[in-house]
Amino acid sequence: MEPPALPPIFAPGLFDGKVVLVSGAAGGVGSAVAGLLSRLGARLVLTDADAARLDSVAKPLAALALPADIREVAACDAVVAATRAAYGQLDGLVNAAGVWVEGESARATEADWNRCIDVNLKGSFFLCSRAIPALAKARGAIVNLSSDAGVVGNAGAAIYCASKGGVTVMSRALALELAPLGVRVNALCPSDILSPMLKGQADRFGSDDPEGYLRRLLAHYPQGPAARFLSVDEVAANVAFLLSPAAAGITGAAQMLDFGLTAGY
Ligand SMILES: NC(=O)c1ccc[n+]([C@@H]2O[C@H](COP(=O)([O-])OP(=O)(O)OC[C@H]3O[C@@H](n4cnc5c(N)ncnc54)[C@H](O)[C@@H]3O)[C@@H](O)[C@H]2O)c1
């Protein structure tokens, strides 16, 4: 099933005067988040390891592009420092950088472990860590992209689950630590999203049958034949909601966005 076109649900100018830093901004979710927040008035700082694609997302939005590999703590330091130098404030942080790793655990490599944990968990943590002083000044908010796989196990994806389970509980711990500073922290936990990551998964791990791989994913959803993947715009809308004043009472949440995939069986 095709995802529906989304009607506007946010007031124009909702993020006027706000500065938001988005990681993974060259990717499917990150670029959709950047596009939506820009339309709603935010000034954006966008970061990603892919400098060329980052540039093509940032240019039309007049956003500051800071290419960086967030596996390095020094790179996270530099991104946050450059954000503060450029704008003198930071109101929101969206951690949307991520990589998918799949395969039999018996054959896992140290390189797979390091890449997945370092991008998904370590990089997200250190961007949060370095952004705390500025976010505290602004009484801002963080949204970390976790996953259904950050709440329940996915067979064949133990390393990815370890990284996203870490993101979910790290976000809860940060929410408690930063609540006295007025900073909210939430993990958004989407199911499969129509994005370059999902296409890459199907192409790489679909054993010459990417369509079959995608059909097998959809077979897990409770909607039966009406099951579908999320659009990046649906995910972006939920990120914008969690950053917005409407979500002032929401912190420490592992917000499911998964058609009930993890509700039980
Ligand atoms: N696509 C899905 O089905 C799905 C489902 C649930 C959760 N998620 C999560 O949502 C987030 C966004 O995923 P997406 O679908 O947009 O994926 P994507 O592959 O389209 O985008 C991810 C981006 O992260 C960037 N990145 C990778 N390694 C990096 C590094 N070392 N430093 C900086 N940037 C790096 C990539 O260059 C890419 O632009 C990820 O955290 C992902 O794990 C995705």
**What does the DSSP assignment read for 139-175?**
T-EEEEE--GGGTS--TT-HHHHHHHHHHHHHHHHHH
Residue 124: domain span: 19-192+232-245
Is 219 a domain residue? Answer: no
Most confident of 3-7, 130-134, 201-205: 130-134
Is 256 a domain residue? Answer: no
Is 186 a domain residue? Answer: yes
Output the pLDDT for position 265. Answer: 87
What tokens were used for 258? 């998964």
Q: Mean of the pLDDT values across residues 202-228?
A: 95
- The pLDDT confidence band at residue 94, using thresholds 50, 70 and 90, is very high
* Active-site option among 160, 213, 221, 265: 160
With a cut of 80, say whether residue 1 has pLDDT above it.
Answer: no
Cα–Cα distance measured from residue 127 to residue 62, given in angstroms and rounded to the nearest whole number:
22
Cα–Cα distance measured from residue 205 to residue 217, given in angstroms and rounded to the nearest whole number:
12
State how many domains the chain has.
Answer: 1
Q: Which tens digit of pLDDT belongs to each residue from 21-42?
A: 999 999 999 999 999 999 999 9
Is 2 a domain residue? Answer: no
How many angstroms does the Cα of residue 213 sit away from the middle of ligand 1?
Answer: 19
Q: Catalytic: 87? A: no
Pocket mutation for ligand 1, best pick of 21, 29, 233 (most atoms within 8 Å of C-beta): 29
Is 183 a domain residue? Answer: yes
Is 112 a domain residue? Answer: yes
Q: Which tens digit of pLDDT belongs to each residue from 239-256?
A: 999 999 999 999 999 999
Q: Return the residue whose CA atom lies nearest to atom 6 of ligand 1.
A: 147
Cα–Cα distance measured from residue 47 to residue 131, given in angstroms and rounded to the nearest whole number:
14
With a cut of 90, say whether residue 8 has pLDDT above it.
Answer: no
Q: Mean of the pLDDT values across residues 222-245?
A: 97
With a cut of 80, say whether residue 88 has pLDDT above it.
Answer: yes
Counting from 1 in the atom list of ligand 1, the atom nearest the Cα of 31 is 16
Is 4 a domain residue? Answer: no
CATH number at residue 92: 3.40.50.720
Supply the pTM of this predicted model.
0.97
Q: Mean of the pLDDT values across residues 6-34?
A: 94
Half-sphere exposure of 190 (CA within 13 A, CB side): 22
Is 205 a domain residue? Answer: no
Output the pLDDT for position 183. Answer: 99
How many angstroms does the Cα of residue 180 sit away from the middle of ligand 1?
Answer: 30
